[in-house]
Structure 1
Amino acid sequence: MKTTKTNLERRGLLKALAVAPVAGVAVAAAPAVASDAAEAKGKQGYRETDHVRRYYASLRGE
């Protein structure tokens, strides 16, 4: 019984060591991506293009 418990603990440790670097990179990259998207969105703003106007007209039944 004791060897089984020890093996499971080791497996958990090895899994955590394998996943930790990947998770760290994802966390480090996420704020940079989010801030870039917010800046780009703020600069462009809402634009009503012909495509959008046609869609609105189709909703009104025109």
Structure 2
Amino acid sequence: MKSHTPARDRRDLLKLLVSAPIAATAVAAAPAQAQATVASESKTANYSETDHVRRYYATLRGQ
């Protein structure tokens, strides 16, 4: 008995054609996403609370 029929081969090909660009996009986006995370972490390291920021936080606490 055959393990693959023409209809099944066609379905497998269509699945591959649909999923390949999606996977390629995910792989291409991974380095950019990692780089964005590093950039946001470096911004946090340079954060300093100024007087107007402290006053704003105080208003949020109701003080």
What is the TM-score with the length of structure 1 in the denominator? Answer: 0.73
Identity, % of aligned positions: 11
* Higher helix residue share: 1
Structure 1: runs of 5 or more not aligned: none
2:24 paired residue number = 21
Structure 2: runs of 5 or more not aligned: none
Q: Name the SS of the counterpart of 2:38 in structure 1.
A: helix
| Segments of 4+ moved more than 6 angstroms | none
Q: Residues 1-62 of structure 1: matches in 2 within 5 Å?
A: 2-45=5-48, 47=49, 48-57=53-62
- 1:16 to partner: Cα distance: 2.4
Q: Name the SS of the counterpart of 1:44 in structure 2.
A: coil
- 1:12 to partner: Cα distance: 1.4
What is the root-mean-square deviation of aligned Cα atoms in Å?
A: 1.9
